Amino acid sequence: MAKVKKVKKENAPPTKPSPPSGKKRKAEPQDSDEDEKLLMKMTQGRLFAGLILHTKKKKKSKTAAKTTIPTSSPTTKKGAKEEPQEVWKWWEEEKAEGGVKWTFLEHKGPVFAPKYEPLPDEIKFYYDGKVMRLSEETEEVATFYAKMLDHDYTTKEVFNNNFFKDWRKVMTPEEKKKIKDLKKCNFRDMCEYFKKESEKRKNRSKEEKLKLKEENAAKQEEYGFCIMDGHREKIGNFRIEPPSLFRGRGEHPKQGMLKRRVQPEDVIINCSKDSKIPEPLRGHKWKRVQHDNEVTWLASWTENIQGQIKYMMLNPSSRLKGEMDWQKYETARCLHKCVDKIRANYQEDWTSNEMRVRQRAVAMYLIDKLALRAGNEKEEGETADTVGCCSLRVEHISLHNEKDGKSNVVEFDFLGKDCIRYQNAVPVEEQVFKNLQMFMENKAPGDDLFDRLNTTILNKHLQELMEGLTAKVIRTYNASRTLQEQLDLMTNDDDAMPAKMLSYNRANWAVAILCNHQRAAPKNFSKQMENLMSKIKDKRGQVKEAKKQLKEAKAAFKSEKTQKNKMVYEKKKMAYKRLEEQLTKLEVQATNKEENKEIALGTSKLNYLDPRISVAWCKKWEVPIEKVYNKTQREKFRWAIDMATADFRF
């Protein structure tokens, strides 16, 4: 394959977005009848039967800045005014050279899970029909199981076996001798106790809730912030997860295992040499204290189930997180310069004499066209059976010469990240189809489709094509590009606010479909829709009555043009217009709810879509930013809100 000239990124993203390359599309003027037809069309089902992923292209100051930026609505829902926040405008400062993330860092360390409180004496545990007194540690682990007694997990053999094995590890020798069969254990008394405690929590008095809220706020104030380079930054996860039973996603082979209590001896602290070192719990000491200013975490520990390192990190609204987001999207934008060459090269490699090159080229095509994740190598039996592009097996795809009137169709069916099922049937290029047939020859269903490829090989190749290029960057590029194109296609000048938001949500929906961001429909979805449709029915009746009254008022004014008749007519006209707007809003709301009941719009919005696209769209079409981003999201993306102008183009 001919090597693509390497595209280099700058150490820091440009401080100002590039001007648009072409003129904006202007919406064609439409009369009221056409408006009505358009709105009816918009409120009938989905606009998208499929997605075309690649369409034609469309056309700081060095000193520290600290300014007030409105990152939330000026008033709350209750009408109380919110104080404007003082914001560190780090994006206007000169970025530090090299890998230095901070020059000063001070914090108070993590908050550990509270000590176990033994059950009241009247709550009993029974073994083989007899009351048995458990040691404190054994009882604590037993309560984890008791809390899940009515859950599906406790009906699973893997979960029960893993739990019992780990439970026995914390038992005293005497308890081990006696407790040998989980089926003889009776946790029902414990289970009922926790149900009652849960109900008590739900029915707390206003005073109790207020007291708890104040306690949490005090803890947040003490542990939830750090001082970084002279600025007070919010910490994301300062509470260490309490011990519990591991669940995992899907049919995880380790479900039911005991997630042990984390102690200070497990925790590494990262802070400045000249800062006040956090104090561990009394009688304990930290595993280690280090002063590494080239990492972004404040504390770390290793969880015992899968050996993964957990980190105490800054909040998404922090400078470090914002810089990472900004750099991520700037890297994705760099693909504009070489994406055509990259595509031409992998297409050329489809006919390579080397099988490894052909497999790599086909994988790149699938990642590019379908926004598939690359997929990481995993130890067999250690995690749930989830795969990505590079780890696909023969059993995960079916080839059809013709399907539903389309040629060369590849049908995918596998569990992706978080055990989300990916099902898709897509037509592919003829040479890709032939290559897939070749890759599947003489292989069993459980064999690797790409047996000459893994993510390490793929990512090394991508880095050779463009600095910083990974499968995730390609996914981010295609997601953001799709949003930009769909917004350009669907938004019109004369759209009312509900119609504009429907366009935005449908553009976001297109990205979520592309990235396979699914969710289960809410449990009360049917009831919500029933209530909404009832409101729509009532509102239509009101509109019909208002239209009738308007017609009568108009006739009265036409027949006798008095000031009184004119005022009545104008009043009825305004009432009719207001009711029509309310009806439209309800209908759009129903459409949005139905279309997105099994689609998770938030995942792509937070992780794959350059926020400057949404900010620019809001500014161009005069849509309040609050309609697109909630308060937390506005804090996360305030760099984009401040930076992006109405003419920003991804």
Mean pLDDT across 74-101: 67
What is the reported pLDDT for 518? 66
Q: Do the bridges between strand 288-290 and strand 268-270 make them parallel or antiparallel, or are there none, so unpaired? A: parallel
Give yes or no for residue 613 having a pLDDT over 60: yes
Structure confidence by residue, pLDDT tens digits, 294-304: 999 999 999 99
Q: Exactly one of 145, 153, 329, 608 is catalytic; which is it? A: 608
Q: Is 255 helix (H, G, I), strand (E, B) or coil?
A: coil
Considering only CA atoms, which of 609, 606, 608, 612 is closest in space to residue 632?
A: 606
Mean pLDDT across 548-575: 89
Q: Is 95 helix (H, G, I), strand (E, B) or coil?
A: coil
Backbone φ and ψ of 288, nearest 5°:
-165, 150
Domain with CATH 2.170.11.10 in the chain: 105-112+207-313
Q: What percent of the chain shows pLDDT beyond 90?
A: 64
- Domain 105-112+207-313: what homologous superfamily? DNA Topoisomerase I, domain 2 (2.170.11.10)
Q: Which residues are CB-contacts of 92 (< 8 A; sequence separation ≥ 6)?
A: 15, 60, 61, 65
Domain with CATH 1.10.132.10 in the chain: 500-643
Radius of gyration, alpha carbons of the chain: 30
Considering only CA atoms, which of 372, 377, 379 is closest in space to residue 396?
A: 372
What is the reported pLDDT for 92? 84
Identify the weakest region by mean pLDDT among 225-229, 377-381, 415-419, 587-591: 377-381
What is the reported pLDDT for 49? 31
Structure confidence by residue, pLDDT tens digits, 13-25: 433 333 333 333 3
Structure confidence by residue, pLDDT tens digits, 41-84: 333 333 333 333 333 333 333 344 444 444 444 444 444 445 55
What is the reported pLDDT for 526? 80
Structure confidence by residue, pLDDT tens digits, 186-196: 999 999 999 99
Considering only CA atoms, which of 145, 378, 418 is closest in space to residue 257?
A: 145
Residue 592: which H helix or E strand, with range? helix 563-595
Structure confidence by residue, pLDDT tens digits, 506-551: 899 889 888 877 666 667 778 888 888 888 888 899 999 999 999 9
Domain with CATH 1.10.10.41 in the chain: 126-202
CATH number for the region 339-465 comes to 3.90.15.10
pLDDT band at 375 (very low <50, low <70, confident <90, very high): confident
Mean pLDDT across 201-211: 93
Structure confidence by residue, pLDDT tens digits, 118-148: 999 999 999 999 999 999 999 999 999 999 9
608 is catalytic: yes
CATH number for the region 500-643 comes to 1.10.132.10
What is the reported pLDDT for 93? 84
DSSP string of 461-514, one letter each residue: HHHHHBTT--HHHHHHHHHHHHHHHHHHHH--TT--HHHHHHHHHHHHHHHHHH
Mean pLDDT across 198-204: 92
Give yes or no for residue 334 having a pLDDT over 60: yes
What is the reported pLDDT for 193? 95
Give yes or no for residue 500 having a pLDDT over 80: yes
> What value does the mean pLDDT of the chain take?
84
Mean pLDDT across 386-401: 93
What is the reported pLDDT for 249? 79
Q: Give yes or no for a contact between 11 and 99, defined as CB atoms under 8 angstroms apart.
A: no
Report the topology of domain 126-202.
Arc Repressor Mutant, subunit A (1.10.10)
Mean pLDDT across 151-171: 95
Q: Give yes or no for a contact between 501 and 591, defined as CB atoms under 8 angstroms apart.
A: no
What is the reported pLDDT for 378? 55
> One-letter amino acid identity for 472?
K
User: What is the model's pTM?
Assistant: 0.71
**In this predicted model, which residue has the larger pLDDT, 97 or 427?**
427
Backbone φ and ψ of 231, nearest 5°:
-120, 145
Domain with CATH 3.90.15.10 in the chain: 339-465
Mean pLDDT across 405-429: 89
pLDDT band at 598 (very low <50, low <70, confident <90, very high): low
What is the reported pLDDT for 186? 96
Considering only CA atoms, which of 545, 563, 512 is closest in space to residue 371?
A: 512
What is the reported pLDDT for 453? 93
CA distances from 584 to 43, 498, 559, 577, 628 (A): 9, 7, 32, 11, 19
Ranges assigned E (strand) in 20-146: 66-69, 85-88, 105-106, 126-127, 130-131
pLDDT band at 251 (very low <50, low <70, confident <90, very high): confident
Q: Which residues are CB-contacts of 155 (< 8 A; sequence separation ≥ 6)?
A: none
